[in-house]
Amino acid sequence: MTDKHISQTQQETFPKNSLPEHEAAQEVIMTKVTALHSGPLPSPEILRAYNEVIPGSAERILSMAESEQAHAHDMDKIVITKEYSDRRLGMWFGLVATGAFVLGALAALWLGAPWVSGLFVSASALGVIGAFINGRSQNSKPAPVKETDNNE
């Protein structure tokens, strides 16, 4: 969430003698006002204006922002829980697959096929090594920045 408030006023005065002849009798003052506000809530001035037009609306806007923030936190918790569950399930499947390869290697060795046993052990080892390498590379990446639109 970012909160910015920029207000800029620029005023220019043109002296009478710098104007063209048909406008020489007038003095022109030009004012340019630029205001920018960014954040989950309107600026205090705008909140006051809302409250003047509809009494109690500022409180309604604040409660809406609070409920939106609570919803965002709840959604983040759900995402984190699901990601943890997925990783845990993947670990269990990896353990079962590795166990199956080791059992296959033992069975092949018992049946008198040592080269098949070597293939099972190699496949199992490569799978475990690959999982460690992928796990480390995913953990070393910076987390993506999540941008939300709080103007809804």
pLDDT for 144: 60
Domain assignment present for residue 3? The answer is: no
Report the C-alpha gap between 9 and 26 in whole angstroms.
Answer: 23
pLDDT for 95: 86
What would the two tokens of residue 106 be? 């033992």
Domain assignment present for residue 29? The answer is: no
> What is the number of domains present in the chain?
1
Domain assignment present for residue 4? The answer is: no
Domain that holds residue 130: 40-140
pLDDT in tens, 20-46: 555 555 566 778 888 787 888 888 889
Domain assignment present for residue 95? The answer is: yes
Domain assignment present for residue 28? The answer is: no
Q: Which helix (H) or strand (E) holds 33?
A: strand 28-38
What is the pLDDT tens value at each position of the chain, 152 positions in all?
A: 444 545 555 555 555 555 555 555 556 677 888 878 788 888 888 999 999 999 999 999 999 999 999 999 999 999 999 999 998 998 888 888 888 888 988 999 899 888 888 888 888 888 888 877 877 666 655 556 565 554 44
Report the C-alpha gap between 8 and 26 in whole angstroms.
Answer: 26
pLDDT for 72: 95
Domain assignment present for residue 20? The answer is: no
Domain assignment present for residue 135? The answer is: yes
CB 84 within 8 A of CB 92: no
Q: Mapping DSSP to helix (H, G, I), strand (E, B) and coil, where does residue 43 land?
A: coil
Report the C-alpha gap between 72 and 133 in whole angstroms.
Answer: 33
CB 97 within 8 A of CB 85: no
Whole-structure pTM value: 0.52
Domain assignment present for residue 100? The answer is: yes
Give the strand pairing for 28-38 and 4-14.
Answer: antiparallel
Residue 10 φ then ψ, to 5°: -130, 130
